[in-house]
Chains A and B, each alone.
Chain A
């Protein structure tokens, strides 16, 4: 069953200062199955964030349509939650208060249920005991986990994640990747996960969508053949590295088109 569908989406930005427009997305179509983990990779500036924000209902677009469960999306909804690249936590709220925040805004759960869910999801992301801390007292990785807990606690059917681990160091990042897979295995959400890192995309996802350089188009979609649960060793296996290489070459071609040189992660 198709959970999330974007069809023929185009997006232009009007540049006030230069008096012209850029085409950020051109005729992008995607369809994600219920419970599927979809990753998107593509060169910088190809419109990944724009696409995610359009799906989240946060950004208007020019052509095409977006739907969840067959219903057209026109604005943010309780069926979707976003994990932003920057943790975007309320600095004056404790961790508990931040995890509760999304639920508070959506008013779907009563007080007792909110308290229970807050507790549950803080423990799920491994932050039990930090309820009363403020975000400024947490490391970047911990803040990003709060961000994830906030999104999960709101009980969305679709989780939209925009390079959530980009700011983390390599070790924390790997740790968070395997944590995310564990959490996903329990919560079984439909996930759209944007990343710069090809091996992150392969490791996490069922399918990897590769986007072309600006204007962003869907260049190719790869199915990831590995079963689950996946261990981090997978990243060192030949089949994995071959897939990584294939995607790498595709993106490099693209980046060459716009003169961007990508450094390997």
Chain B
């Protein structure tokens, strides 16, 4: 039977974390209302909420969010499919690994941000340069983790499978792939985080739409409330996607021993 826990024990993280956030916002709002914060440097909670509401009802906030969201999802989906597929091939075939390793190492070591001007030359300032930046940001963590997962095959398990006359294909489907799943999910979680950075940074570099653009524009025009709306949207998307990825991770590691 599941051990009984009190209400507080069950929701400890939520109560402590939520409480701390609420108190911080309350103090911030108090300082803002008292006029102790210059709107040039920092905004206040009420102003941010007002700006958010304005953006939704009269401004372009919804369109910006849709634009950024589309770029992110497109780029991420491409990174996921190709990262997992390519990672499996490189992890499974030694020759493929030896051939691609130098390229991947070089690309992996280059900060993605240094590639942005090149990407803009290739794809222009429109949405496809953003999609590509998300793709290239999320691709590497997914790829590297998938390769690691496929290569991480347990030698004892491999020997046991061989003893039962397993074919290479059976070893691949029954050992390499299921064993790689937790690694792939870790890659997805990291890819989500880097992909989000990619979409924001990409929009800052060029173009005239999206949440990243909104943040950059807010900064240039000292519109701190607009800037904050953008930052908060990015932060919440990060939290949401990471949470989804973590749930997915847990769903697929039910067999792991309790920690």
Q: Which residues of A line the B interface, CB within 8 A?
A: 56-58, 75-78, 80-82, 84, 86, 88, 90-93, 101-102, 104-106, 134-137, 154
Please measure, in the bound complex, the distance between the C-alpha atom of A44 and the C-alpha atom of B170, giving whole angstroms: 34
Contact count A vs B, C-beta below 8 Å = 57
Q: Are A105 and B164 in contact (CB-based, < 8 A)? A: yes
Please measure, in the bound complex, the distance between the C-alpha atom of A184 and the C-alpha atom of B170, giving whole angstroms: 30
A-B contact pairs, 15 of them (CB 8 A): A58-B163, A75-B165, A76-B164, A76-B165, A80-B163, A82-B163, A90-B157, A92-B178, A92-B255, A101-B164, A101-B174, A105-B166, A105-B170, A106-B164, A134-B254
Q: Are A88 and B159 in contact (CB-based, < 8 A)? A: yes
Q: A57-B163, A76-B163, A92-B178 are in contact. List 16 more A-B contacts (CB 8 A).
A: A56-B163, A58-B159, A81-B164, A84-B159, A86-B156, A88-B156, A90-B175, A92-B179, A92-B181, A104-B174, A105-B161, A105-B164, A105-B170, A105-B174, A106-B164, A154-B164
Residues of B within 8 A of A78 (CB): 165
Please measure, in the bound complex, the distance between the C-alpha atom of A184 and the C-alpha atom of B94, giving whole angstroms: 43
| Contact with A90, one of B159, B165, B178, B257 (Cβ below 8 angstroms) | B178
User: B247 within 8 Å of A by Cβ?
Assistant: no
Q: Flag B73-88 by CB within 8 Å of A: 1 or 0 each.
A: 0000000000000000
Please measure, in the bound complex, the distance between the C-alpha atom of A86 and the C-alpha atom of B155, giving whole angstroms: 11
Please measure, in the bound complex, the distance between the C-alpha atom of A135 and the C-alpha atom of B257, giving whole angstroms: 9
In the assembled complex, how far is the CB of residue B140 from the closest CB belonging to chain A, in whole angstroms? Answer: 26
Q: Which of B162-211 contact A (CB under 8 A)?
A: 162-166, 170, 174-175, 178-179, 181
Please measure, in the bound complex, the distance between the C-alpha atom of A137 and the C-alpha atom of B3, giving whole angstroms: 17
Please measure, in the bound complex, the distance between the C-alpha atom of A81 and the C-alpha atom of B160, giving whole angstroms: 9
Please measure, in the bound complex, the distance between the C-alpha atom of A49 and the C-alpha atom of B109, giving whole angstroms: 44
Residues of B within 8 A of A57 (CB): 163
CB-based closest 5 A-B pairs? A136-B257, A88-B160, A105-B164, A134-B255, A88-B156
User: B5 within 8 Å of A by Cβ?
Assistant: no
> Whose C-beta in chain B lies nearest to the C-beta of A80?
B163
> Whose C-beta in chain B lies nearest to the C-beta of A133?
B255
In the assembled complex, how far is the CB of residue A137 from the closest CB belonging to chain B, in whole angstroms? Answer: 8
> Whose C-beta in chain B lies nearest to the C-beta of A92?
B255
> Whose C-beta in chain A lies nearest to the C-beta of B161?
A105
- Greatest chain A CB density within 10 A among B161, B254, B255 is at B255
- Looking at chain B's contact residues, is the secondary structure mostly helix, strand, loop, or mixed? helix
> With A58-B159, A136-B257 in contact, do A90 and B174 touch (Cβ < 8 Å)?
yes
In the assembled complex, how far is the CB of residue B64 from the closest CB belonging to chain A, in whole angstroms? Answer: 42
Please measure, in the bound complex, the distance between the C-alpha atom of A249 and the C-alpha atom of B175, giving whole angstroms: 45
Please measure, in the bound complex, the distance between the C-alpha atom of A18 and the C-alpha atom of B181, giving whole angstroms: 38
In the assembled complex, how far is the CB of residue A167 from the closest CB belonging to chain B, in whole angstroms? Answer: 13
Q: Which residues of B line the A interface, CB within 8 A?
A: 154, 156-157, 159-166, 170, 174-175, 178-179, 181, 254-257
| Contact with A136, one of B161, B178, B255 (Cβ below 8 angstroms) | B255
Please measure, in the bound complex, the distance between the C-alpha atom of A24 and the C-alpha atom of B254, giving whole angstroms: 42
Please measure, in the bound complex, the distance between the C-alpha atom of A82 and the C-alpha atom of B179, giving whole angstroms: 22
Q: Are A58 and B162 in contact (CB-based, < 8 A)? A: yes
Please measure, in the bound complex, the distance between the C-alpha atom of A82 and the C-alpha atom of B162, giving whole angstroms: 10
> Whose C-beta in chain B lies nearest to the C-beta of A77?
B165
In the assembled complex, how far is the CB of residue B207 from the closest CB belonging to chain A, in whole angstroms? Answer: 44
Residues of B within 8 A of A105 (CB): 161, 164-166, 170, 174
Residues of A within 8 A of B181 (CB): 92
Q: Are B163 and A81 in contact (CB-based, < 8 A)? A: yes
Residues of B within 8 A of A82 (CB): 160, 163
Residues of A within 8 A of B254 (CB): 134
> Whose C-beta in chain A lies nearest to the C-beta of B154?
A88
> Whose C-beta in chain B lies nearest to the C-beta of A102?
B164
